[in-house]
Amino acid sequence: MRKTALYSRSPSPARVPPDAPATPATVDARVGESAPASPPPLAASGAARRWPRWRRPSLSDPRTLWAAIGVLSLLLIVTLMLALRPGARAITQNDINAAVLHTLEKTTLPSPATKAAEAIRGSVVRVMGFRKDKKGGEDIEHGVGTGVVIVDKGVILTNLHVVQEADTIKVMFADGLEATASIIGAQPENDLAVLQAHKIPDDLIAATMRSTHDLAPGDQVVAVGFPFGIGPSFSAGVVSGLKRVFRSPEGRQQLNNLIQFDAAANPGNSGGPLVTMDGQVVGIVTAILNPTSARTFIGIGFAVPIENAAAAVGLHPF
């Protein structure tokens, strides 16, 4: 819609008879300028006064003609320069190889263990068990372990021995959110427990699990957890063996079909994921072998294959 004008042209002045008396100057309220009492005399020819027009360029004007010639000459020079420019040399495979080699020499690439750590970091949780103080009634931390999110609704795998004697279970996610959790499943023969967190982060990511059918001694792995409550911590090593058997120091339990690895693990790593270099979970860290009473890592750790862990939560086997 066309806007209404905020101002308009002054109406054409009325002709005043020659014998009319002169009137004093008046003020035009719209523009605030003084206007003569009588209009200026018309041209002798009697034609109406015209508004000025913009002057149009014409080739008959020498200045316009020389400007056009200059622009055309510049365009011709640029065209000739582009046409006479020698063609670029074709890129060969040797050129590509040299460029890649130069980049590799000048760029520090992340290690495979770093990639694995970044892939699994958001799915690792700290698991804390609390027991009621019989005298004061306060919650006292009974133990610290590790868990891994396997379903993004807050389903977590950990070791049964981390939580089975706790009155209250709490988990802390990678973003710092802390929530209580309940045991919703257990597999005592493999020392596994399934937890359900009562509150979860909005962007919770579940870990990716991978079958162990093609896992072989010598494959690189990373053990993730909270050793002595410090973490999350990441340690790299290799698979030392498969189908191992472990008996608890008290002799009360025997675990079978375990993955043996040499990545460092200590108390607090229990329930944490054992992952491949692409960050996929192949096992749940369960035990370490130490014939002394120190019960610290001396080079041999064990993990329950993820197939067993998946069965504990009713997931389809690989």
User: Which residues are designated catalytic?
Assistant: 161, 191, 270
The span from the CA of 276 to the CA of 112, in Å, is 9
Cβ burial of 164 (10 Å; 0-12, 13-18, 19+) is: middle
CA distances from 309 to 126, 187, 192, 264, 270 (A): 18, 8, 7, 21, 14
CA distances from 225 to 19, 88, 148 (A): 111, 56, 9
Sequence-distant (≥ 6) Cβ neighbours of residue 308 within 8 angstroms: 187, 190, 192, 257
Provide, for the chain, the percentages of residues in helix, strand and coil under a 3-state DSSP scheme, each rounded to the nearest 5: 20, 30, 50
